[in-house]
Amino acid sequence: MKAKASVIIKWLTRLLPDWVRPPLRYVYRFVMGFEWVRKLLIDTASLQECHDYWRNPPAIDSPTTYLAGNEISELFFGLVEKYVDRSGRMLEIGCSVGRNFNILNMGGYNNLYGIEICPESIGLLKNAFPVLAESCQVYNIPVEDIIKHLPYQGYDAVYTIAVLEHIHSDSEWIFADMARIIKDVLITIEDEVGVSCHTFPRNYKKIFEGLDMEQVEETNCKGIEGLSGSYVARVFRQRNGR
């Protein structure tokens, strides 16, 4: 019944005219922000179930699908080039198969670190970008198990693309640790509206400005291949050069 409710909501959304969707996104995100509403409509996965899913994902989320996505990487690289020095230490949470590592490396950024839960993704990174794989450091572990051990302001920039949206509500404590390890810049490109058993809607501006960071840029991702209008690209900086 819950699965049917989720399908019906998505079907009704597709029928709406474009001009209606932006205001409804805010209403939808607000309503779905209540855990009891999500439980009523959707069978939300547990934290362990989320980890198990992304550690060994089904075909629909196969790591091979993440080798594509040039428009997303171009959007991301434009933001990096604008705000991050090429000498900066950069950490990607959920680096997957290394597509973003590759575009950064080609653009002159080579101080690259990552966290990735899926072993198959790491294997694909090594096969697709063997030279790059030798020069970057990737922790093959859930972010919850490593982030507390990363150094204060240890990275000039941290970035995530379609990853924070899958962080379970029980693990929202990691956001404070993200702010702790960032020396300067945070870039998020995330679905802030969509809800599924493995997807949790959040307003990342509200979250990270509440952690003493300042948003300096915001872009709606409608029209970007592989994303949709529910995705928002945000850039934050530490306030007062903390």
Q: How many CB atoms lie within 10 A of CB 5?
A: 12
User: In one letter, which amino acid is 29?
Assistant: R
Q: Give dist(CA 52, CA 58) in Å, integer.
A: 11
Cα three-residue angle 109-112-116, rounded to 5 degrees: 140
Q: What are the sequence ranges of the domains in the chain? A: 1-43, 46-241
Query: How far is C-alpha 98 from the geometric centre of its chain's CA atoms?
Result: 14
pTM of the predicted protein model: 0.84
**pLDDT tens for the 242 residues of the chain, in order:** 444 454 555 555 556 666 665 666 567 656 665 666 666 667 788 999 999 999 999 888 888 888 877 789 899 999 999 999 999 999 999 999 999 999 999 999 999 999 999 999 999 999 999 999 999 999 999 999 999 999 999 999 999 999 999 999 999 999 999 999 999 999 999 999 877 888 898 999 999 999 999 999 999 998 888 888 889 999 999 997 55
Q: Give dist(CA 101, CA 219) in Å, integer.
A: 22
For 111, the 3-state DSSP assignment is coil
The CATH number of 46-241, from 3.40.50.1100, 3.40.50.150, 1.10.3470.10, 3.60.15.10, is: 3.40.50.150
